Structure 1
Amino acid sequence: MQPGNTYHQPFADRLQGFVSDLADCLADVFESAGNTFSEWLRLPPGYAQSSPLKRCIFSIPAWFGNMIAGIGNLLGVLIKALFGIAAGIAGAGIKMVLAPARNNRGFLSEAAADLVFPITGSLLLIGAHSVSLLQRCFLCQRFDRRLSDAEWNMLLQVFGTSVSLYNIRIVDGWSKLFGSTGSRAFTLGNLIIANKMDFVRQPWVLVHECVHVWQSQHLGNRYAAEALFAQWRYRHPGAYDWTAEPGRGKTHWLKFNPEAAAELIEDAWLEGSAGTDADRGRGTFFSAANSGRIPFFIASKDRVDHTALALEAWQAIRSRQSWRWSGRIKNPGRFRPAGRI
């Protein structure tokens, strides 16, 4: 059921891509409204040093804003679920009609994926955001935050305008039930649960998770189910091995399983260079590509030159523009700094 490269139906894929972008645009209305409302009600600087009375006064609107943001996220996922499932049915129908005519099992494999993954991915994300909303209600989850200026500028080098960076929210530290899943970060649409990951010390992990944000914004809820399916099918470490994807029948980055696709971008950020060992890592590959210099990417795991593959992946990312109105926001500093609780 994992989609491969045996078959590629341009019309069906373009149709699903169009519907996913349209749904993402509509979801943005609720998500951005909730996030912006929450920003303006967020705890002010110096909150922890305030008197008990002031802390109580400031906590009430901050809690309310956090709830509104959670409701906006859940509504966004529901909208994308409806559109994504409908697009999956339409895409599967096109492929199933063409499959017998061309006697190609790849048609049926991708058709099955188009039917199953949007439904299961939507159920997963609806459930997860429902849990998040309950945890926000009972203060069992730390308040989320938006990207810092440094994180924003770093991700801009990789994603450009293909992702609405304003919508990305991060939960640092404790997150109750989500923390029981392990120490690794994971992504629920535009919400990144950091768990024990420190994005200041490990920015490459944030790059990885933001590839999942890109997948969510452009491919819909199905990415969540595809990622979990890949972890089950190839076992946990194997799902992240992007060098094995060509042997699995997937020669293009867009057809990689979601974890392998994200891991490739993470490794390119971490190990890519601009031609010299001194100019290596920390996003040098992408800054070189943006500035017109020649980037290089020789992966440490196999010592093979994967520059062409990394460039193909980067170009695939940048070729999809965000339809979200919030994607036009260029300067996060115009909004009130996010506080914490």
Structure 2
Amino acid sequence: MRYTHFVIFVIISCAISVSVSAHSAFDGFRLGIEATYSETILEVNASNPKGAAVRNAYTTLTQDESQLAASSAQVAERRIAFEAGIRHLIANQQLLSVTEKQAAINPQAAVTLDPLLQQMRQHLLHEAASLQAASEAIKASEEAIRAGEALLMAGQERVAELSSFPAVSTVTLPGTTARVSLGWGTSWATRMGGIYYGVEIDAAPGVGDAVVRVPNRYDTRVEGGLTFGAAARFGWVPVPWAMPYVTTGMETQKLRIERSSSSGTEHLTGFRTGFGVEFSVADNNIIRVGYDRTMAPDSNFAGAKVTPLRNTYHVGLVRRF
């Protein structure tokens, strides 16, 4: 709505200008085309998502450490029980060997000892099978502990990576393009030189792309889109062929946003100021060199606060009618 009011104001001003006689070589209707180099700078404050990511990673790491310690203690107990089982098996094997020798020496006692020997052999087979199962369980637990140690190391690296992630970073969308402008202006003669006032609208294709990274969140790819601006222009004409000027107005830039599997658009609209110099090189031709700076309100990308800033350097030809 504000842009609509501004455009109406431009049209009314242009209509009024028909009856105003020019006082300098910079007055009248103007059509310009300029080469521009712009940088859309996004200051990304990811302190909140970074803090949450570090806390979550540290909590997971602490849980993994506790689980690994408990598993190691359990394996140590199993090893003690396994070693005790081995000793018991050896003792029973020795007892079986002594009993078998007694049966071999005394055939009469062999008949009485035979059921006992069968029972002892069955018990030894059962013990050996149990120890074999215990050995395999210990090996599986040891492999799980090694996997847990690797997971713990990865968790430690993750905590270190997140801790070193910058809480505040900057990404830039640079690019060179062309800007077209349409405006009107008039000036009044004073003892200090001409005082110029004008209005202008401009548009430029979008350029530049960058990726906004936020820890433990999806990356956001940002591509520059169409830029539209409207501003008032104030100048001083100390000599007939040169006019330093300043501008103030609004600018909006369309951005294409790609997040994970989704995409969309966002508009950065803010306050624009600028300055420059125009040089009259012929009756109706003007060379312009200038700089614009646009500051827009904060946005939110994946939980991070993004502060936009746009710098535009431009040089080109303005045709006066």
Q: Which has the higher helix share?
A: 1
Q: Which has the higher strand share?
A: 2
* TM-score, structure 1 as length reference: 0.22
Question: Larger radius of gyration, structure 1 or 2?
Answer: 2
* TM-score, structure 2 as length reference: 0.23
